Structures are given as structure tokens and as C-alpha cells.
Structure 1
Amino acid sequence: MEPTPRHIAAYFALMEAGALLQQLVEKQLRDEGNLSYIQFRVLAQLAEAPDQSVRMTDLADGVVYSRSGLTYQADRLEQNGLIVRTPSPDDERSVTVTITEAGREALAHVLPGHIDLVARELFGPLSEEDVTAMADVLTRVRDNLRNAPRRRAPRRRPAAGGDDGRPSR
């Protein structure tokens, strides 16, 4: 499908709205709970999981975050006593992350403000029909993106000349 000006406008509106909402959400979470958005997502996903535990790799996929970035965030959450990490009982190479009581309390503390902000800023200007349509459309887009094959950046080839990738002199 060839993108039309309407497609381009819709794309930019989505990206701008998402960025603006993300800024508001980040500020609210920082101000009320000293949490980043990704830390909030981690705690929320753990709180909803069976046994309130998830394997680290599944958590990274669920919150759509790099494994290395999630490891850093998990370090910070663990230092603050909001999660614990243990070796997975099913796979010795995996790590299981579990929310602690302090993590549940931190989540409960920021959640009312988060819900109010999202209700006001995202859903406030929309009718119920708009919300239904938005949920349907964004669910289809999300599912399409999640089902697409992962693409990695092509490996960089060394530059002509030296073995270290630098041109020879």
C-alpha cells in the first residue's frame, strides 16, 4: 500500500500524541513514586502475573524493552527492594523476577494518579465510540507488529584496509 498524505498525518499524530503522553506519564510516576515508566511497567506486569513472578526474558518481551536495558532497570528496582531476582526453577540459565510487598505498595501508591492522568489526558477528549475504535485499531496494529519477524541491523563490515576496520595508511 502506498502511503497517502492522510496516512502520513495519522502516523505523525500518533507519534506526537504518544510522545506527549509519555512525558506526562513519566513526570507523574517520577513525582509520585520515583519510578521511570519502564519500572512502572515492570511492577505492573509482575503484579498481574501468576505467582507475581515472570522470567526475565519474558518480562523484556512483555514490556518491549531490551534485555540489557531491563537488566539495568531490574538492578535499580532490586536495590530499592521492589523486586527480587532468583534463578529460575525451570531453567538454570534463566532468572525469575518477583515483585515484593514494597513493590506492590509502590505500585498501589502511583496507580491512582496514573489512572487519573490517563483518563484525563488520553480518554478525556474521546467518546466511548472513539475509545472502542481506538482500542480495536491499536490492538490490530500491536498484534501485527508483535507478529512481524524481528529484524536486526545488518552487521557492519570492516572498512577496506586494516584488520581493525580502519583504513590503512
Structure 2
Amino acid sequence: MSSEPRPLDPVQLGAYFALIEASSLLRHAVDQQLQEAGDLSYVQFQLLATLGDAPGGSRRMTDLADGVVYSRSGLTYQAQTLEKRGLVTRAPSPDDERGITVTITDEGRAVLAQVFPGHVAVLEELLFAPLSADDVATLAEILTRARDHMRQAPPRSAASRRRKKAPGAGPV
């Protein structure tokens, strides 16, 4: 017996739409700033910032894909683009010959340093200006709880790559 999901109440629906709209508005402004200040896409910025914070400035591609919630193929393309610009290097992983490790270069760190002041200014102006310090702490706690709940599913890199077979089809 299949049960229908209950409808969202007006407060839930309003919270959902406000989150989506606020995220879209902020993402648009951040995308513009990153493009103008460093010729970076948002995903490229995420990769550089993640690598910049990582021990030794390196991470495995699979871990990066899970962290930035991006497809493996899309991330490979973005890493190749950054590598062509000299902002990262890619090499076989020392722990797993099938894996690739990405490392931020000095040029990549310089681009991060170039875009960060404007990035912070956009966040301050659009996201944090109308909020008190207590509001920011509450927002961080709520979003962290929601994110952690969503991340309880296995990371995308651990998800099965097998396709579902069509009815009557043979093995995949």
C-alpha cells in the first residue's frame, strides 16, 4: 500500500521557496564576482578553495567530487580547465593507482587571494548585512543540521554506477 506524502504546510512551503530564491540570488551574484575577479566558475572556485584549505593543498578527485557535490565527469573537466591555466596539477594518487590527486599551485593560490576580498564583500552585503550575529549563528546551525541529514546517504562516488536494467533485458 502506497501512502501519499503529506502536503507541505504554508510555513514549510514559504521556507523552501525563500531558501531556493535566496540561494539563487546569492549564487548569481557570487558567480558574477568570481567571473569578473578571477575568470572562475563557482565550481572552479570551490575546487581551488577546497584545495587551498587541504593539508598539502591536495585532495583525491573522488573526495573533491563528493565535497563539492558535482559529477565525476564534470569535475574532471573543471580540473582539466584549471590545470591548463596552471592553477592546479593532477597526478596519479600515491594511495591508489586508479585515483587522481589534484594539487593547487602557487598560481592557484594567487587567484584565490585575488578573488577572496570581493567574494567576502558579496557575502557580507547580500547574506550577512540584514542578519544579527545571533541570526548568523542560528542560520549556520540550522543549515548544518539540514546538510548533515542530507549527507547521511552514501557519497556520490560510492553510489552504484550500474544502470537499472529494463524489464526483460539481460544482465547489465
TM-score (norm. length: structure 1) = 0.88
Task: Give the equivalent residue in structure 2 for 1:157.
Answer: 166
* Secondary structure, aligned partner of 2:151: helix
In 2, Cα distance between equivalents of 1:46 and 1:120: 26
Task: Give the equivalent residue in structure 1 for 2:114.
Answer: 109
* Secondary structure, aligned partner of 2:52: helix
2:94 is the alignment partner of 1:85:
no
**In the alignment, residue 41 of structure 2 is paired with which amino acid?**
S
In 1, Cα distance between equivalents of 2:150 and 2:30: 23
In 2, Cα distance between equivalents of 1:60 and 1:19: 21
Equivalent of residue 119 in structure 1, options 111, 115, 124 = 124
Equivalent residues in 2 for 1:34-73 (5 A)? Answer: 34-73=39-78
CA shift for structure 1 position 156 = 6.5
Task: Give the equivalent residue in structure 2 for 1:164.
Answer: none
CA shift for structure 1 position 149 = 4.7
Task: Give the equivalent residue in structure 2 for 1:132.
Answer: 137
**Structure 1, residues 41-74: CA drift from partner, whole Å, max 9, x if none?**
0000000000100000001111111111100100
Q: Percent identity?
A: 55
* Secondary structure, aligned partner of 1:147: coil
In 2, Cα distance between equivalents of 1:48 and 1:137: 24
CA shift for structure 1 position 5 = 1.0
Higher relative contact order (CA 8 A, sep 6+): 2
**Structure 1, residues 91-116: CA drift from partner, whole Å, max 9, x if none?**
10000000000000000000000011
In 2, Cα distance between equivalents of 1:99 and 1:149: 27
Unaligned ranges ≥5, structure 1: 161-169
In 1, Cα distance between equivalents of 2:166 and 2:32: 41
CA shift for structure 1 position 157 = 2.7
Unaligned ranges ≥5, structure 2: none
TM-score (norm. length: structure 2) = 0.87
CA shift for structure 1 position 148 = 2.7
Give the aligned CA root-mean-square deviation in angstroms.
Answer: 2.1
In 2, Cα distance between equivalents of 1:19 and 1:119: 16
CA shift for structure 1 position 155 = 3.1
* Secondary structure, aligned partner of 2:49: helix
In 1, Cα distance between equivalents of 2:22 and 2:33: 17
In 1, Cα distance between equivalents of 2:66 and 2:44: 14
Task: Give the equivalent residue in structure 1 for 2:36.
Answer: 31
